[in-house]
Amino acid sequence: MLPDESPVSSSAATTLDGPPESGPWWLRPAALYDGERMLDAVALRIEAGRITTVVDAAQVPVRAACWRTECLAVPAFVDLQVNGGGGVLFNNDPTPQALFAIAAAHRQGGTGAWMPTLLTTAPEVMTRAVEAVIAVYGRHGVAGMHIEGPHISPDFRGAHSLEHIRPYDAHTRDLVRRLRERGIPVIVTLAPERLPPGALRELVALGARVSLGHSGATEAQARRALEEGASLFTHLFNGMPPLQTKRVGMTGAALDSDAWCGVIADGWHVDDTMLRIAVRAKRDHGALFAVTDAMPTVHGPPQFELYGAPIRLRDGKLIDARGSLAGVHIDMIGTLRRLVRDVGLPIGTALAMVTSGPARAAGIEGRHGRLAPGAPADIALLESEHVQLRHLLLEGVRVGGESGAPGAPRHASA
C-alpha cells in the first residue's frame, strides 16, 4: 500500500474509465479468473505494468485511482500455434516485421502471448524464421517458437509441403540449440516413427518441448516417445490416424497419457461431441488446451497463398482449390466463445484451456496465463454473457478494443 492510501470502501475511490497514463492504479472487475479460480469482489493493484496485489474490493484505498468495470477479468490468452494473421503467413515472410503484423492481428482476439509457428519448409527459411524470433522474443507477445515439421509423416502431412518433408538432421538440432541458448521456449512437432534412435532424447536434453503430431505412429511408438521425453500432442485428432476400438494408435495413447494435448475448436476440425469426450478423458491425465492454428485470414483478407497455392475463406472455413479443408480461421476469443456456447464447457474449464493450460504446457506459466502478485498485468476484459472481448491490457496498457471472432461459429460434421 502507498503511504497516502488508507483501506476504505472502493466506492470512495477515484473513478477511472481506463488505465491512467502513469502511477499506480486499481482494477475492480465484476469477477476475476486468475488462471485457477473464479473470484468475486476482488481488486488488483497495478504498478509499472505488473500486478502488485490482489485484495478484497473493500480494501481499495480512498484516494486510489480505480477503474471499475462490469467485465470479467481473465489472463490475456495464450496461443501456442499461430501460423499467421492480419494477411501475413510466417512461412511466406519469416521476418520481425511479419511477427509485428501477426501479433497486432491476434491482439484483436485477446491474445497476449503466442508462439509463431513455422510449417514444414526449406532449411534456409527455417534459419530466417529462427533469427526473426530471436530478434523479437519478449516483445509483441512473442513467447517462444513452435517448429511444426519438417520431420513428419508424408501420409499425415495435412497442408504441409511434401517436397520439404525430410529426415531429422543436424540443421534442426542446431536451430533448436540456438533458441534454447538464448532462453527462448521451443516446441518441436514431429513424427516419432520418423526419427533415428536418440534424436528425441537429444531435443529434450536441449530443453525443447517435443510434441507428437502429423504422424502415423502406433500406440507402442507413441508411448515409447513419451517415455523418451515427449510431453505434448499437436492438434489432437488432426494429422493422426483416427481412434479405433481395437487399434487406438497415437490418438488413444494421447488420451490415455499424462501428456498435454492441443486441440482446434473451430467446429470444422474436431466434432464438438469428440471435444467433450476428450475434455473428460484428459481431466485426470494431463489436460487439453486450445490452439487456433490460425492462418492469415484471421483479422486479415479472405485469401492467401500457402506453398504457392491459393487458399480461400468460404462459409467460415479455409479451403484449397480442390475444396479441401486447408487451415484454420478463428482467433482466441472465438475459440473461447465456441468452447462455452457450442461445446458447452463450464466457463472455468474453457478459460483454463486458453490461458493457464497452454502456458503450463509450454513451460511459460511463470510469466503468462495467470493474474497474481508479481505477474505482468496482461488482462483480457470480457463481457461474460456473450463471451465478447471488450478490452485487452498488456503490461497495464490498453491495446485492444471490442472485438468478435472472425467468421461465424460452425459445427463440423463427424
Task: Provide the annotated active-site residues.
Answer: 293
Cα separation, 268 vs 139, whole angstroms: 32
Contact 401, 326 (CB under 8 A): no
- Among 150, 211, 206, smallest CA distance to 178 is for 206
β-pair type (260-264, 209-212): unpaired
- Among 74, 72, 76, 53, smallest CA distance to 1 is for 53
β-pair type (145-148, 111-118): parallel
Question: How many residues are listed for the chain in this entry?
Answer: 414
β-pair type (72-75, 379-383): antiparallel
- Among 25, 5, 11, smallest CA distance to 393 is for 25
Alpha carbon distances (Å) from 18 to 25, 34, 68, 249 = 10, 20, 9, 51
- Work out the number of other CB atoms within 10 angstroms of the CB of residue 413: 7
For helices 123-136 and 170-181, the axis angle rounded to 10 degrees is 0
Q: Which residue has the cell 492454428?
A: 293
Q: Give residue 337's identity as a one-letter amino acid code.
A: R
Cα separation, 122 vs 136, whole angstroms: 22
Cα separation, 327 vs 348, whole angstroms: 28
Cα separation, 8 vs 119, whole angstroms: 54
Tell me which H or E stretch contains 280.
helix 272-281
What is the distance of C-alpha 225 from the center of its chain? 23
Beta-carbon contacts of 400 under 8 Å, excluding residues fewer than 6 positions away, are: 107, 108, 110, 389, 391, 392
What is the distance of C-alpha 251 from the center of its chain? 21
Cα separation, 213 vs 239, whole angstroms: 6
DSSP letters along 8-52, please? --GGGSEEESS--SSS-EEEE-SEEE-SS-EEESEEEEEETTEEE
